[in-house]
């Protein structure tokens, strides 16, 4: 009788169990083994902040199948005939002997297993700032079930009053919300000039304003110099500018790095970004070893460059590919990522896909064009909520390079549509007549997505001369004095206004009051309204009357990230 093919998976979080399960489905006769260092398996790590925040109370929900069955070793053995060994740490990979050495962390027992195919899913490890005091009690990350348990206990006990979140990325913002919901006073500390660096500054600033509106403090352009404490317990963080902030808890969320120790020691090729190198089959430099998840670097499908993209959905997709290839032949591929992501920010969401304007310029893209669209996701009579989208495209070809969207509206829908458009290598012209589902409970007749494409088309054809809120603000700060024209109604103006020297002239009265505008037809005039749809119409009216330097402030007041008069 032929010996069973043995497939060993190192790592039992997301990518590893997915690879093991797929391998089993492809080859029902293979021996499939998972070696997992932690006590739990198949953890929904992206759910940790919501467990900490009290969105659900049953810890096991982080480990369950859709049917509510906990994915423990017995589940894997009975349901999938997979031998999942938890509390088992792999200490070495011997590529010549095709073996792995392991130790049971509970019993101290050691052993060796040979493999035919090996899948490495060792994940990533959290980065810690290189400052004094990181060993104090009260400092944690949110990377593991142990971390989630620790923070949930803090939430439930209600003793901690002040906490600092170090880092304003996805995990930092989600942790901020979770702890804020527990009644803890939060300060988010970010070294860079903005939160959520996958967004361009003007959208990130709107997110920051929203976080502040929920009672959290935000400090940007300032990092950690030291953690301070007494008797081994944290009691403050010291910032780089010398400020000391009292706190009893600090959650460090400044990113992760690939966990490549085993792979490096085994002689596998490591990429320039510090992740394991793989090909499209998820195969490492050793043809019998695959790697999946946060421990590797993968291809950016837009730029063709390697990136480290530690996303839970990508880990599962990669696991599926590696599992099938390890169980059969290299017959399926993983094409890479366009780095699509989304983050809950209290009752807002912030999402992006593809390239931001900032990243595109950093990568050397020169002929790019952007627009910002602020408009609701549904009609007002269906309680539509605001979306603010920034779209990035190639100026010459109209090819879509990236999109960002924030707001209380259905951000996920918008980002999903733009992600598919980018992966389909579609252009703005492809999008302007997109056939999407419409009914008032779900969208506008011309969906926010399509309207964004229309604005971009108008800008590319030279019909709309757009200017961003940031550009307007910069002009005013440098002493330029464009004529600022607010074309909303008087009631709107009384409820909310910028206070930047604007002149109120409602669109309906614009033609009658045209003589009140600057006599110099070359004078720069910047028009806007609540979302700048009327601002665009005002631009067309003024141009038809001879003014030659008229611009529309994209997104209007709803995209203005700076303080307002009221």
| pLDDT digits 0-9 by tens, 62-116 | 999 999 999 999 999 999 999 999 999 999 999 999 999 999 999 999 999 999 9
Residue 371: what pLDDT? 98
Residue 3: what pLDDT? 83
Are 441 and 549 in a shared domain? no
- How far, in Å, CA of 224 to CA of 243, rounded? 10
Is the pLDDT score of 1 beyond 70?
Answer: no
- The encoded tokens of residue 318 equal 């990669």
- How far, in Å, CA of 227 to CA of 98, rounded? 45
Are 447 and 356 in a shared domain? yes
121-159 pLDDT per residue, tens: 999 999 999 999 999 999 999 999 999 999 999 999 999
User: What's the CA angle centered on 76, arms 73 and 80, to 5 degrees?
Assistant: 160
Are 94 and 173 in a shared domain? no
Angle between helices 73-80 and 15-26 (to 10 degrees): 20
Within-domain flag for 181: yes
- How far, in Å, CA of 499 to CA of 501, rounded? 6
> For residue 520, what is the domain's CATH number?
3.40.250.10
User: What's the CA angle centered on 109, arms 257 and 89, to 5 degrees?
Assistant: 10
CA atoms within 13 A on the CB side of 441: 0
> For residue 28, what is the domain's CATH number?
3.50.50.60
| Other residues' Cβ atoms within 10 Å of the Cβ of residue 60 | 13
User: What's the CA angle centered on 255, arms 254 and 261, to 5 degrees?
Assistant: 130
* H or E element at residue 386: strand 386-394
Looking up tokens 């860079």 gives 192
Are 115 and 164 in a shared domain? no
Within-domain flag for 213: yes
DSSP E strands, 167-223 = 185-189, 217-219
Are 452 and 472 in a shared domain? no
Residue 506: what pLDDT? 98
Find all residues with CB under 8 Å of 146, minimum gap 6, and list them. Answer: 38
Are 400 and 453 in a shared domain? yes
Of 268, 297, 327, the residue at which a domain comes to its end is 327
| Mean pLDDT of all residues in 393-401 | 97
Q: Are 469 and 554 in contact (CB under 8 A)?
A: yes
Within-domain flag for 332: no
Confidence of residue 566 (pLDDT cuts 50, 70, 90): confident
User: What's the CA angle centered on 178, arms 172 and 180, to 5 degrees?
Assistant: 100
How many structural domains is the chain composed of?
Answer: 4
Q: Are 43 and 14 in contact (CB under 8 A)?
A: yes
- The encoded tokens of residue 159 equal 């003793």
536-552 pLDDT per residue, tens: 999 999 999 999 999 99
DSSP E strands, 240-330 = 244-246, 249-252, 256-258, 289-291, 298-299, 306-307
User: What's the CA angle centered on 209, arms 351 and 496, to 5 degrees?
Assistant: 110
Annotate 71-134 with DSSP letters as a single string. Answer: --HHHHHHHH-EEEE-SEEEEEEETTTTEEEEEETTT--EEEEE-SEEEE---EEE---SSTTT
Are 213 and 187 in a shared domain? yes
Are 275 and 239 in a shared domain? no
Are 156 and 234 in a shared domain? yes
- How far, in Å, CA of 386 to CA of 118, rounded? 48
Of 228, 254, 280, the residue at which a domain comes to its end is 254
Within-domain flag for 340: no
Are 199 and 103 in a shared domain? no
39-50 pLDDT per residue, tens: 999 999 999 999
Within-domain flag for 496: yes
- How far, in Å, CA of 264 to CA of 533, rounded? 56
Q: Are 303 and 310 in contact (CB under 8 A)?
A: no
Is the pLDDT score of 251 beyond 70?
Answer: yes
| Mean pLDDT of all residues in 459-476 | 97
Parent domain of 272? 6-125+257-327
- Eight-state DSSP code of residue 414: H
Closest C-alpha among 121, 511, 39 to residue 312 = 121
Share of residues in the chain with pLDDT > 90 (%): 99
Confidence of residue 2 (pLDDT cuts 50, 70, 90): low
Within-domain flag for 336: no
Looking up tokens 């607010």 gives 486
Based on the number of CB atoms within 10 Å of its own CB, is 350 exposed (0-12), middle (13-18) or buried (19 or more)?
buried
Count helices and strands (H / E) in the chain.
15, 30
Of 254, 275, 290, the residue at which a domain comes to its end is 254
Within-domain flag for 334: no
Are 382 and 282 in a shared domain? no
Within-domain flag for 134: no
Q: Are 143 and 234 in contact (CB under 8 A)?
A: no
Are 88 and 143 in a shared domain? no
- Eight-state DSSP code of residue 137: B
């Amino acid at each position: 009788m032929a010996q069973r093919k043995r497939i060993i998976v190192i790592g039992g979080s997301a990518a590893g169990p997915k690879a093991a399960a797929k391998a089993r489905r492809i080859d029902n006769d293979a021996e499939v083994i998972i070696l997992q260092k932690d006590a739990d398996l198949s953890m929904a790590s992206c759910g940790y902040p919501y467990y900490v925040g009290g969105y659900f109370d049953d810890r096991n929900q982080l480990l369950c199948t859709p049917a509510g069955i906990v994915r423990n070793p017995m589940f894997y053995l009975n349901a999938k005939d997979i031998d999942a060994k938890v509390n088992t740490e792999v200490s070495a990979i011997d590529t010549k002997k095709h073996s792995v050495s392991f130790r049971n962390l509970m019993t101290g027992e050691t052993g060796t297993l040979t493999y035919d195919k090996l899948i490495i899913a060792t994940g990533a490890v959290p980065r810690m700032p290189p400052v004094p005091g990181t060993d104090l009690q009260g400092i944690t990350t949110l990377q593991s079930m142990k971390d989630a348990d620790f923070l949930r206990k803090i939430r439930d006990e209600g003793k901690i009053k002040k906490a600092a979140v170090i880092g304003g990325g996805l995990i930092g913002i989600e942790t901020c919300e979770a702890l804020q919901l527990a009644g803890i006073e939060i300060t988010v500390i970010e070294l860079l000039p903005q939160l959520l660096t996958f967004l361009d500054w003007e959208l990130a600033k709107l997110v920051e304003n929203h976080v502040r509106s929920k009672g959290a403090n935000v400090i940007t352009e300032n990092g950690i110099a030291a953690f301070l404490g007494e008797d081994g317990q944290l009691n403050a963080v010291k910032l780089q500018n010398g400020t000391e902030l009292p706190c009893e808890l600090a959650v460090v969320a400044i990113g992760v790095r690939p966990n490549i120790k085993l792979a490096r020691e085994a002689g596998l090729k490591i990429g320039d970004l510090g992740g394991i190198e793989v090909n499209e089959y998820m195969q490492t430099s050793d043809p019998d070893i695959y790697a999946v998840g946060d421990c590797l670097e993968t291809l950016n499908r837009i730029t063709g460059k390697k990136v480290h993209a530690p996303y839970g959905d990508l880990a599962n997709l990669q696991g599926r590919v590696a599992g099938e290839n390890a169980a059969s032949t290299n017959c399926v591929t993983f094409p890479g990522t366009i780095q699509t992501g989304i983050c809950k920010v209290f009752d807002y969401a912030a999402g992006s896909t593809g390239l931001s304007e900032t990243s595109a310029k950093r990568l050397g893209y020169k002929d790019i064009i952007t627009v910002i669209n602020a408009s609701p996701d549904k009609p007002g009579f269906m309680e539509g909520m605001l979306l603010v989208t920034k779209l990035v495209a190639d100026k010459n070809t109209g090819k879509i390079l990236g999109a960002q969207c924030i707001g209380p509206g259905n951000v996920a829908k918008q980002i999903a549509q733009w992600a598919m458009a980018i992966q389909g290598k579609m252009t703005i012209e492809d999008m302007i007549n997109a056939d999407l589902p419409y009914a008032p409970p779900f969208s506008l007749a011309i969906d926010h997505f399509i309207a964004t494409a229309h604005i971009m088309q108008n800008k590319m054809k030279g019909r709309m001369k757009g200017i961003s809120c940031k550009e307007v603000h910069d002009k005013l700060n440098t002493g330029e004095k464009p004529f600022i024209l607010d074309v909303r109604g008087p009631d709107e103006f009384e409820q909310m206004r910028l206070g930047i020297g604007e002149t109120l002239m409602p669109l309906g009265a614009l033609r009658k009051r045209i003589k009140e505008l600057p006599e110099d037809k070359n004078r720069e005039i910047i028009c806007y309204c609540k979302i700048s749809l009327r601002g665009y119409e005002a631009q067309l009216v003024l141009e038809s009357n001879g003014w030659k330097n008229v611009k529309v402030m994209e997104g209007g007041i709803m995209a203005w990230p700076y303080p307002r008069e009221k």
